[in-house]
Amino acid sequence: MRRLVSVIAGVAAATAAAAAIAEPVVSLKDPAGDDNGPGAYTYPTDAVYKPGSFDILSFDVDVKGSDVVFKVGVRSKIEDPWDSKAWQGNGFSLQFVQVYIDTDRKDGSGTCEGLPGMNVRFRSASCWEKVVLVSPQPKSRLQSEIGQKAAKMKAGVVIPTATRVDGKTLVATVKASDLGGKPAKGWGYAVPLQSNEGYPDSKEVLTRKVNEYAGQHRFGGGSDYACDPHVIDMIVAPGQGGADEVRMQHSALKYSCDDQDKPKVELPMVYP
């Protein structure tokens, strides 16, 4: 009996330990050097925008107990040039990732527009149910921006319980219940990387514009109108980091300015 009790105790301890161990659900790669959106985008000219700051190399989703952890790795060390602690931020300044998730893969189900300021849409077969904001901004700022500028999308917006930096990786922890459950097989992800803009346009959620010409705090190589996707890098299928994915990204982000203020680019989802 005593032996049985100790075996049961051992099993319980092992189960508890397993609950705390991260279980990888998604692990994708992105090629280096494609931090130029559709191909011609350039970084702002200010020295804080160091080469590689917006070049995604990896995207991982892990389940840890009742939490889901999103990790976005970039090519250069993530710095905090604007001292985010002074504005109750998360230890970095420049990057802003929006992780769009299609949880049902049903035609016409979900929100088919990106958040204001991204200038992107999604195909009707892969509209999103949730978007996780991986941002240096404090929760209160994210909530007020969404409330003012994207109120109709509010139910789908997920603000992490914690966002931090680990070297070259952004790490955002979300409650699985806020996603409607733990990530399941069949979920799709779109992971556009942008730049956090603390003084955004009155209609845009904390995004930095891409203009025709780069400025001190403006990306260049795009359009001054809202026809160009404000996406510097993203992951495309199959998410293995191959050179063909550079070409596929450029093609996916190719835009036309025939109708200057109506964004037409449809971001593809990756279904790992």
Which residues are CB-contacts of 223 (< 8 A; sequence separation ≥ 6)?
Answer: 210, 211, 212, 255, 257, 260
Piece of the chain touching Ca ion by CB under 5 A; list 3-11, 56-64, 133-141, 218-226? 56-64
Q: Does 102 bind Ca ion (CB under 5 A)?
A: yes
Closer to Ca ion by CB, 30 or 204: give it: 30
CA 12 to CA 243: how far, in whole Å?
47
Q: Does 109 bind Ca ion (CB under 5 A)?
A: yes
Q: Binding Ca ion by CB under 5 A: which of 36, 42, 98, 249?
A: 249
Closer to Ca ion by CB, 127 or 131: give it: 127
**Min separation Cβ 252 and Ca ion, Å:** 9
Q: Does 36 bind Ca ion (CB under 5 A)?
A: no
For 253, how many CA atoms within 13 A lie in the half-sphere containing its CB?
Answer: 30
CA 229 to CA 121: how far, in whole Å?
9
Q: Does 110 bind Ca ion (CB under 5 A)?
A: yes
In angstroms, the Cα distances linking 56 to 8, 161, 234 are 45, 23, 7
Q: Binding Ca ion by CB under 5 A: which of 29, 34, 114, 118?
A: 34
* Residue 238: cis peptide before it, omega within 30 degrees of 0: yes
Piece of the chain touching Ca ion by CB under 5 A; list 49-57, 78-86, 141-149, 170-178? 49-57
Closer to Ca ion by CB, 109 or 173: give it: 109
**Min separation Cβ 167 and Ca ion, Å:** 17
Cβ 95 vs Cβ 193: under 8 Å: yes
In angstroms, the Cα distances linking 16 to 7, 98, 141 are 14, 32, 36
For 51, how many CA atoms within 13 A lie in the half-sphere containing its CB?
Answer: 2
**Min separation Cβ 256 and Ca ion, Å:** 21
Q: Does 104 bind Ca ion (CB under 5 A)?
A: yes
Q: Does 204 bind Ca ion (CB under 5 A)?
A: no
In angstroms, the Cα distances linking 67 to 12, 57, 140, 158, 186 are 20, 23, 21, 13, 19
Closer to Ca ion by CB, 79 or 104: give it: 104
Q: Binding Ca ion by CB under 5 A: which of 78, 127, 159, 231?
A: 127
Phi-psi region of 100 (alpha: psi -120 to 50; beta: other; left: phi over 0): beta
Q: Does 194 bind Ca ion (CB under 5 A)?
A: no
Please, what is the Cα angle at 28 between 238 and 54, to 5 degrees? 105
Q: Does 60 bind Ca ion (CB under 5 A)?
A: no
Closer to Ca ion by CB, 156 or 160: give it: 156
Q: Does 30 bind Ca ion (CB under 5 A)?
A: yes
Q: Does 233 bind Ca ion (CB under 5 A)?
A: yes
Instruction: Give the residues lining the site for Ca ion (CB under 5 A).
Output: 30, 34, 55-56, 102, 104, 109-110, 127, 233, 249
